[in-house]
Amino acid sequence: MANYGKIYIDIEKLGDSVGVPRKEMKMHTGQAAVSRQQWSSEYMKKAVATVKKFSGSGLPVVFSGMCPSWAIAALAFAMGPCDFYLAGKDGDTPVPVLKIGKFNPEGQVTFTVEEKGDKVYVKYQCGPDENTAHSHDESKIPFVVLPEIPANKHILLYGVGVVPSVLPMALGYAQTKCKSISLMFNVENGFTCAMTNSDDIALGDFEASNFWPEKLAKNPHK
């Protein structure tokens, strides 16, 4: 809802309103099980249809709550162009739109790029290794520079990091002449399309991945 010149989107409330099912998840720390939403492309498309009415308003959008990276990216693409923020206990944190160009070590994110036909797979690594990726210093995100990608390609983002790091990457590539942008939520699953400018792929389309052969890729939406 719009309030004080901003649009506030509670993603979990939005998910509940479009029927995203919940599942009790056991915590590794031994804490009590928590109820987590089980997003799929079906519910992502319903959520996108709900927020699309705000597209073109120009008002800043503040996201709160949890969902897969491809779902929040799809919501952002549907509501833009505008400024985005992630809500936090210390206030709203701006989501930068990352630049594309020469690698900047200050960002503490490295990339590898593999081109396969009209698809380009971009792997990111936040922090020095996978063990520290989820504690990536968020203050470094604005310094991250994305690798250049040829025009008119399908971009598939994957790697190890968190939404505050991944969403700016997706928004950065959305400024380019790409055919689509798909994101991977976790290594067990493949890529889900969050934005498309092409007849070749639709919003929510899924592509399995074999990047981690020890983990069989499966379609989480079926």
Q: How confident is the model at residue 82 (pLDDT cuts 50, 70, 90)?
A: very high
Sole residue written with tokens 């939404």: 163
pLDDT at residue 170 greater than cutoff 70: yes
Cis peptide before 81 (omega within 30 of 0): yes
Q: What number of residues does the chain have?
A: 222
- Domain boundaries of the chain, sorted by first residue: 2-207
CA torsion sign for 140, 134, 179, 11 is: negative
pLDDT at residue 218 greater than cutoff 50: yes
What does the pLDDT read at residue 133? Answer: 61
Locate 27 and state its tokens.
């915590």
Q: Output b/e per residue, 160-196; b: 16+ Cβ within 10 A.
A: bbebbbbbbbbbbbbebebbbbbbbbeeebbbbbbbb
H helices of the chain, in order, are 11-17, 41-51, 69-79, 163-174
61-64/145-146 β-pairing: unpaired
| Average of per-residue pLDDT across 108-115 | 93
pLDDT at residue 1 greater than cutoff 60: no
Q: How confident is the model at residue 144 (pLDDT cuts 50, 70, 90)?
A: very high
Higher pLDDT, 202 or 56: 202
Locate 188 and state its tokens.
């067990």
What does the pLDDT read at residue 213? Answer: 47
| Average of per-residue pLDDT across 48-63 | 93
180-184/191-196 β-pairing: antiparallel
